[in-house]
Chain A
């Protein structure tokens, strides 16, 4: 019983962190699916989302507003708006001018953008860790009073539910809406979609905006869950999310979700049963193994050579 509770606790920890990896991974995978480039600045967009949410929360607190749902909604909206505009601007400034050139050029442009945004936040917000207020406290406890108690916090529940809502909304959007259909068309064949009258520039911008908005959601959630933000944390989270996207099959949206969850659970199980020191070793070994046996990732489709 004790062991089962412990296992469930580690599973919950892993799924929580995994769902936020998935939210960030969507941004990588959508952009890759449509224009075949890796947007390395995506982790920074997520970090900026977290900072914006923090600024909004602090601002509301200064105004004396203490009603939690209002704070969360305003923070979320601010973060999504700022991150989305950032995502849009990054695409306009750094990627559109070099689109269609050699693959390496947008990649380097993306790395440059990532370094620029990181340093911009360093300058604007200082390089220290800033504490993030824990707005959602408390939770459920399971298990007898004496032994190991499993806890499921309201924060973790919030993360699951929000991720679920975002993912469902995104899937519906992609499969049902007009823009979603256009997205799928562009990802299949950009040139053909263009010929058929789809404004591909607009669709590509929309992809960046959607990815950035989801990253902002993850920024707010993780900021509250962990408790602090610093200008570098987008980089590490971005790396993990990118791994999750590759693991699940880059370009595939369900793949990003699956990859995120697997990575999160693998990390928490490793630190739970082996040692925290091996956390990254195991998760990246997993990545290498999957890529060795299934180079397109778990749910990725083999790329068909277009003639």
Chain B
């Protein structure tokens, strides 16, 4: 009995190993790592939707160097600890190209592992400047930086010549980073900053903060962080009768803020990447998303699509699936993508990326203001 079990186990494991080997030869695995669950999962939906579409379309056009792309998906819940676990399992699974992560605080620790293990990472959403400041060879992004987004927001606020501005952030890498960029630009423009304060992400009671904002009598409040907290701040500010205009980065710009804040979300200002889905040359792609019943208008859908496309084109240009060769090809080449012409500098940042100020409405739509 015992020997037969042993034999069975050996047989099964051998065949599994063989299957695995057979898999690897004909396919290129593309890891997609982002939040499938957790408080910011809606951004993850955008990321996965965009990346899956790109993989689908590339495969339909014959794949990359004749090989098929296979998506391997990982959930990091936007939690730095989980991101490290995900990065390690990517290494174990032998994945060599990653689209992700989404939250800067997850991308940062995960990228350390990728760089060490020779995995190429393209983040479609992390805007923290620190990610590309460390001289890593294998880290790229298809989005701009907080150091570009912050000044756009600050310049807009300054152009409205407010008397006093308050800046609030969620003490996380992304939120505090962008809030600092806004503060510095506003200071240079000579705007009085009445408050610069952190809150705790996940908190629900902002009544004290709102009271403080009221007391400080500010015209504008800039919030660096994500929508769950800003939604509540907007709502509690509205019911406490705070008369100030709120502004936030792309982390607050999604329809879920409307379900939390309701009418209070009307008039919120948001800096977002330009609406790539409105561009004439992307209409065929937009239609492909709509045919699948997906919405391409989210800020990270087409950046994720582009990330996959760049990896694929990088592999073709390098004629190799070695991540270091692909990285070199990405730095050298010029690529035509749905988010425009992409060229990389040495750090792995795009040479140009534009942010636009939008006004958000309580029905979840947005209109550009400049």
Contact = CB atoms under 8 A, between A and B. Distances in A.
A127 B79 CA distance: 14
Interface stretch (A88-96, A128-136, A175-183, A193-201): A128-136
Q: Which of B211, B212, B241 has the most CB of A within 10 A?
A: B211
A128 B208 contact: no
Contacts of A271: 208-209, 212
Contacts of B267: none
Nearest to A3: B215
A228 interface: yes
A134 B262 contact: yes
A110 interface: no
A236 interface: yes
Interface residues of B, number: 36
A111 to B, nearest CB: 18
B259 interface: yes
A6 B240 CA distance: 13
Given A128-B39, A148-B214, A151-B240, A275 B231 contact: no
Nearest to A267: B208
A276 B209 contact: yes
B200 A280 contact: yes
A304 to B, nearest CB: 38
Contact of B239 (A131, A153, A232, A268): A153
Contact of B211 (A133, A272, A279): A272
B228 interface: yes
A197 B220 CA distance: 67
Interface string A220-235: 0010001110101100
Interface in A134-163: 134, 137, 139, 141, 148-149, 151, 153, 155
Contacts of A151: 240-241
A150 B198 CA distance: 23
A10 B211 contact: yes
B214 A127 contact: no
B85 interface: no
Q: Which of A232, A233, A268 has the most CB of B within 10 A?
A: A268
A17 B231 contact: no
B116 to A, nearest CB: 31
B278 interface: no
7 contacts: A17-B207, A131-B258, A153-B239, A226-B205, A226-B236, A277-B171, A280-B200
Given A228-B260, A275-B198, A277-B171, 17 more contacts: A9-B211, A13-B208, A16-B207, A17-B205, A17-B207, A127-B39, A127-B41, A129-B228, A129-B231, A133-B262, A148-B214, A148-B215, A226-B232, A230-B39, A276-B200, A276-B209, A277-B199
